[in-house]
Structure 1
Amino acid sequence: MASGGKDAVKCTLREYKERTEKADAMKLTPFLKCMEACGLKQYKTATESSIWNLNADTAKKCTMDQIVSKVIPDIAADAIARKKGIKGRARHDDPDVVKLTDDILCKFAAKAGQAAHKATKTDETTARLTDASGYTGSHKERFDKDGKGKGLEGRVDKADNSGYVGNYKNAGTYDQCH
């Protein structure tokens, strides 16, 4: 596979890595989710049980380069070995392993640029309940005219505690009475 294809694979992997992860690496769970999204569910068990641990560092992470150059070929080698009934793994230079590796990489590359998380669909009931323009009473005070929430300002009635005594309501009018 050309380096442009490997870049597409890395792009797909980056879509699935944890958002808090700063390094160009990922943990097993996001990788398995990515595999499932790419239609490679049949290889999850082998990846989870042995292949990932052979290539991961002490933090149980693999870099994108490791995934492309080691993990995916190991997945292909393991699958071919199981298919042929070989104990252990097949050799990486086996033509069947090379072909399966390319097929797996192509499936990852085909997902490049597609968002990992799809927008949720809302039914008409949810849309009606979340439309703030239909709210009445005190609930309508919690939103501005655009339907954006006002936060604490919309939920709390702030008391004017500017008087000398807490319940004195006419602050600043004492001198006007006398």
Structure 2
Amino acid sequence: MLSYSSCMIPAVAALLVTCHALRECPGNTELPEIPALPQRDDLKGQSHLSLPNSLDTDPLDVIADLKHRLCRLEGVLVLNGKIRKAGDKIFASNGKKVDFASALGSCEEAGGTLATPMNEEENQAVLSIVKPYNQYAYLGIKEGETPGQFKYINGMPLSYTKWYKYEPNGKGTEKCVEMYTDGTWNDKRCNLNRLTVCEF
């Protein structure tokens, strides 16, 4: 008897090949071309196939979700370094020290962005990568147009901070943010080499 899950095997195989071979995971919203899967209405009266009556999930939605998850994991594995999970986020480092623009570029190339802790759990996950390297790391946070007003790199205002005592104090001269090896933050110039930590 052919089940719904066995119909998914060729689709998932095609998805894996497409994601790996075409290297189109980051930023791509198109679904790969895959063989059409049978729909419940198409299977009425066919006793050799069975689908659960409660099946409400569109197979293309399942495939889109699988593609997103596989591409995220592929991005993490590309970094080939330390990996930590906090909530829905995965944090990873390749162990390289570079300036802010290069760190951001490396993360985006792998399908992620610079680590942007939005709560204590995420900050601790980033810290658990920073500590073993004993290196400060850039965060995905930059100073906005108003000196002393920092935002996530996507432009949203900060919802969580962990500033070191008396920081930030650059007053417009230190546009980037680094994490110290104790998990606190400091505003810093963007042209210094710091550990690359990405989130996916």
The alignment's TM-score, normalised by the length of structure 2, stands at: 0.20
| Structure with higher strand content | 2
Structure exhibiting the larger radius of gyration computed from Cα positions: 1
If each structure's helix is expressed as a fraction of its own residues, which one has the higher value?
A: 1
